[in-house]
Structure 1
Amino acid sequence: MTGPAQTRSPLADIAAGVTLFHPRPEHVAALVAAFSVPVPHVFAYDNGGVSLETRAVLDRSDGVRVIGTGDNVGVGAALNRMAEAATAAGARYLLLLDQDGEPSPELILGLRAAMARLSPMQGPAMVGPVQRPVEGRKTPRYPLRRGVPALPGLDPVEFMATSGSLLDLAAFARIGPFREDYFIDAIDLEWCFRAWAAGHSCWVDRATPMAQCVGSGVIRARWLPVAIARQPLFRMETYIRNTVYGWRLAHVPRRWKLTQMAYLPLQTVLYWSDSGYKPAVLGRLLRAAANGFRGRLGRPAGAP
């Protein structure tokens, strides 16, 4: 029984979900330490490459439950399984993270407070942190949603990264799951556009920062203001494929499709130039675009 001096934790309705793929033990230890705040449920999805040492760290941690079989099923499937587990556990919200994220009590408390400031009239589906730049890495940028007024400290955005974001599980049930056939890239973008089309919304909390970066470096154009993340070829292929496929979807705004139709060829040429203009690389990138037009999705060739 709760006595008069006892209060319910502000995080009692939150679960956390972390997608793990070949994580380093020190990263996992830092993630576990961040959940010393009273989050009732933490789900770690083993998407492959979780070592015995890392598994021992997880097994020693109170409140952490490892799910997944160790097969790389893709980010979309991992996110969906964690959402299902959090819903079954009775959580109202799910904090989504990857192994490179930097969670903290301030992040969790800040996003929960931001979600509370959004009324049901705004239909919040997801709230994420403002991105803190990391030197030498590409920082994601989230365009503002046109026609939706900002609130004090909160910006409506077209889309945001799932990592570091707080997901409303009731809204998730109405909007539908993340696309598992996308496998890894543009999953958050497609889902957020689908959320807006379904009458929900996505927000960035300007008072809650988190370092977030994409890839292992930055590839910059010499004469144009274009930069992309340096990442493995299969990731670039998947990004191109899923972006092109998104042009077929009615809920992706026409203005975004036109922007990407202009920008994607520049990104493709920039990645190809960084490879030394290898014909084989260009061939794979063009085949990825063709697969997007044809709707050939699923696990990409070369995925580890």
Structure 2
Amino acid sequence: MTEPSETPTAPDDGEMAMPSSNGSDARAAARIASAVLADVAIGVTLFHPKPDHVAVLVAAFAGSVRHVFAYDNGGVSAEIRSVLDRSAGVRVIGQGDNVGVGAALNGLAEAASASGARYLMLLDQDGEPSLELALGLKAAMARLSLMLVPPAMVGPIQRPVAGRKTPLYPPRRNVAALKGLDPVEFMATSGSLLDLAAFHSVGPFRADYFIDAIDLEWCFRAWSVGLSCWVDRETPMAQCVGSGVIRARWLPVTIARQPLFRMETYIRNTVYGWRLAHVPRRWKLIQMAYLPLQIALYWAESGYRAAVLGRLLHAAVNGLRGRLGRPAGAA
């Protein structure tokens, strides 16, 4: 995470001017940002968060955005809870049990809708929260609202992080890009701005997926009902997957290093997605070719342990049979 600047800057589209020279200008800038984001709620999913991460979140939005919802998905200490409870505009929801990312996202969307917000910016505790991010995505959403295919979600371009795997979003075919905005098949929910009316049209995120491929499935579902997903190339945010990278020796293939239960869940949900009509056939074929390579690479990293391969293959079988829900090994 990076510390947000004290004085937010506006998008470059000329919609607003953000002064930035002294204390009074900074206060004026904050008031402008607050007005522009009056219909935006912030929703962050917390799972065993670090105090400094929460401090950045509070510094970025508390007092500037009317509604900030923090979903306690487990491991939020009494100290952090106290900080959140004392912060202006911040409301903690959730019961402190790990219900999975999908259920937490749905809880945030429901809370934001009940607050009267039109948009919800989704974050996790490892994102880069800032008013600049929110302002940039709001400006992008305003431009996209004029499209024939209305936007369901717009997210930032991913800034690479050394030693980590950066998500890549394939472009959507047969949809024209705009200046600085690219239509994509799917994107990560973290850092994205969600249109809440579109959310209710598309339906909730799949809670039975628990943690992996939730954003992919939802975005494909959005496209299938005549809505769209976009990446704003002028609004960057560092985003990475896993704790490192596993690289193939002889092929240009890399996967994120992550716990075994996460890899199992990814495999299960990916295979289950092959059963869904709204997931495009071309994407299923790509995954059918790529997933065995990912499995082989993860197995090799484990030292070719038979037990690991067995669990990965069993996860694929669970996907084929539709056995979803909370994975074994989830904290």
TM normalised by structure 1 equals 0.97
1:3 corresponding residue in structure 2:
none
Q: Shift of residue 57 of structure 1?
A: 1.5
Query: Which aligned runs of 4 or more in structure 1 are off by greater than 3 angstroms?
Result: none
SS of alignment partner, residue 281 of structure 1: helix
User: Deviations for 1:40-82, whole angstroms, at most 9, x for unmatched residues?
Assistant: 1000000000011211211121100000000000000000010
1:114 corresponding residue in structure 2:
140
Q: Shift of residue 38 of structure 1?
A: 2.5
User: Deviations for 1:147-174, whole angstroms, at most 9, x for unmatched residues?
Assistant: 0000011000000000000000000000
User: Deviations for 1:127-155, whole angstroms, at most 9, x for unmatched residues?
Assistant: 00000000000000000000000001100
User: Deviations for 1:202-222, whole angstroms, at most 9, x for unmatched residues?
Assistant: 000000000000000000000
Match of 1:275 among 268, 280, 302: 302
Match of 1:225 among 252, 258, 261: 252
1:303 corresponding residue in structure 2:
330
1:94 corresponding residue in structure 2:
120
SS of alignment partner, residue 126 of structure 1: strand
Give the conservation status (yes or no) of the 8 Å contact 2:268–2:318: yes
1:103 corresponding residue in structure 2:
129
Report how many residues are paired.
300
The answer to whether structure 1 residue 187 and structure 2 residue 214 are counterparts is yes
CA distance in 2, matches of 1:111, 1:299: 32
Q: Shift of residue 112 of structure 1?
A: 0.1
In terms of mean alpha carbon deviation, does 24-33 or 6-15 score higher?
6-15
| Cα distance, 1:204–1:37 mapped onto 2, change above 3 Å | farther
Q: Shift of residue 105 of structure 1?
A: 1.2
In terms of mean alpha carbon deviation, does 60-69 or 6-15 score higher?
6-15
The answer to whether structure 1 residue 58 and structure 2 residue 79 are counterparts is no
2:66 corresponding residue in structure 1:
40
Amino acid across the alignment from 1:10: V
Match of 2:293 among 248, 266, 272: 266
**Cα RMSD for the two superposed structures:** 1.3
Give the conservation status (yes or no) of the 8 Å contact 1:12–1:38: no
1:174 corresponding residue in structure 2:
201
Amino acid across the alignment from 1:94: L
In terms of mean alpha carbon deviation, does 185-194 or 120-129 score higher?
120-129
Amino acid across the alignment from 1:9: A
TM normalised by structure 2 equals 0.89
1:196 corresponding residue in structure 2:
223
SS of alignment partner, residue 49 of structure 2: coil
| Cα distance, 1:167–1:53 mapped onto 2, change above 3 Å | same
Amino acid across the alignment from 2:292: P
CA distance in 1, matches of 2:48, 2:307: 28
Give the conservation status (yes or no) of the 8 Å contact 1:216–1:231: yes
Task: Give % identity.
Answer: 80
SS of alignment partner, residue 35 of structure 2: coil
Give the conservation status (yes or no) of the 8 Å contact 2:63–2:88: no
Match of 1:78 among 68, 91, 104: 104
SS of alignment partner, residue 220 of structure 2: helix
SS of alignment partner, residue 97 of structure 1: strand
SS of alignment partner, residue 121 of structure 1: coil
Amino acid across the alignment from 1:284: R
CA distance in 1, matches of 2:63, 2:84: 16
CA distance in 1, matches of 2:285, 2:128: 34
1:286 corresponding residue in structure 2:
313
